[in-house]
Amino acid sequence: GLGSPLALYLAAAGVGTLGLVDDDTVDLSNLQRQVLYTTDDLGRPKLDAARTHLNALNPHVRIETYPTRFAPENALYLVRRYDIVADATDNFITRYLLNDACVIAGVPCVYGSLFQFAGQISVFATPGGPNVRDLFPEPPMDAISCGEGGVLGVLPGLIGSLQANEVLKWILGVGTPLVGRVLLVDALGTQFRTFGLERDPDNPLIGAPPAIQTIEESVAYTTSQGCIPSITPPYPMAQVPEISVSEYNAMRESDHPPVLLDVRRPDEVEIAEIGGTLIPLNELPTRISELEDHRDDPVIVVHCRSGGRSAQATALLHQHGYTNAVNLAGGILAWSDEVDPSVQKY
């Protein structure tokens, strides 16, 4: 959502080289906010479609694509190739990793984030300037992606365009960048306001010596805060084993029904539920031992609203030896559509 206006406006402006990192394909649900794509691109790798459209807009811009996830293994390599980075991520473990890589490499980062009807932008300039770990010393307990929580389609256009503005100002050396300031955008009230951001003396990226000086220390620190660790092969999120809601519904009638694990937030359970043990995704790393009695059960079915968070949880369970865990494809939304319409969608 943020990457679309960023890439379009930077290409249109004639920025010499654009590096794009993504491992996904274009889905119909993307199109209300990811305006870089069209219905003709459905099923295509996003980077292939992006290159096509950006080259059509400005054939003189060099487009470098990396069909992978931004991960600890490639973070410094990617960041160090460029003069400035724009954060268009949608989860906190990647956001912290990107932030820390930029600080370690000494590369400025234009931050943007959004949720439903509000967003924020800032510029994290190194060395010495405030960064994500000053704005969010700890990850918000209820943080979820736009795909999970929803977003007004035009909001990524607003935030991404403002990010592109900050990138161009930085490149050109004009205006006053949002260093040490955060711009808040309220799309419902059509209001913009700015507040100051200072360095937190407890920021692990500063100190004598800093607690975070390497990517390995970044990952360890973020994991200690309760964020889900990076997903590594052989179970990347796109390949976790899964079952359909109809398959799970049939399995419930067997002599040994599967264990059901709900990884949503408690407030979501109040809206709609299909049963199961509740362990929110952000708590799973520290509470995974609560599932020890089910390690040898035939199946653990993991579910959330639409299947995204449960895919992460399933991958994490496999990393801890729970090879009987499977993701419930489509989650609550698919259950309501295909099994029980009385379960409320949200």
Alpha-carbon distance values, 328 to 57, 58, 301, 341 (Å): 40, 42, 6, 17
Whether 146 is catalytic is yes
Report which secondary-structure segment, H or E, holds 21: strand 17-21
Longest dimension (CA), the chain: 70
Asked about 109 being catalytic, the answer comes back as: no
Residue 21: HSE in the Cβ half-sphere, 13 Å Cα cutoff: 18
* Residue of 102, 109, 146, 227 with catalytic role: 146
Peptide bond connecting 209 to the previous residue in cis, omega within 30 degrees of 0: yes
Q: Which of 102, 109, 227, 304 is catalytic?
A: 304
Evaluated on CA atoms 178, 182, 187, 192, the torsion sign reads: negative
The rounded distance, in Å, linking the Cα atoms of 211 and 218 is: 9
Burial of 33 (0-12, 13-18, 19+ CB in 10 A): buried
Buried b / exposed e along 138-175 (16+ C-beta atoms within 10 A): ebeeebbbbbbbbbbeebbbbbbbbbbbbbbbbeeeee
Report the C-alpha gap between 166 and 285 in whole angstroms: 36
Q: What number of residues does the chain have?
A: 346
Active site amino acids: 146, 304
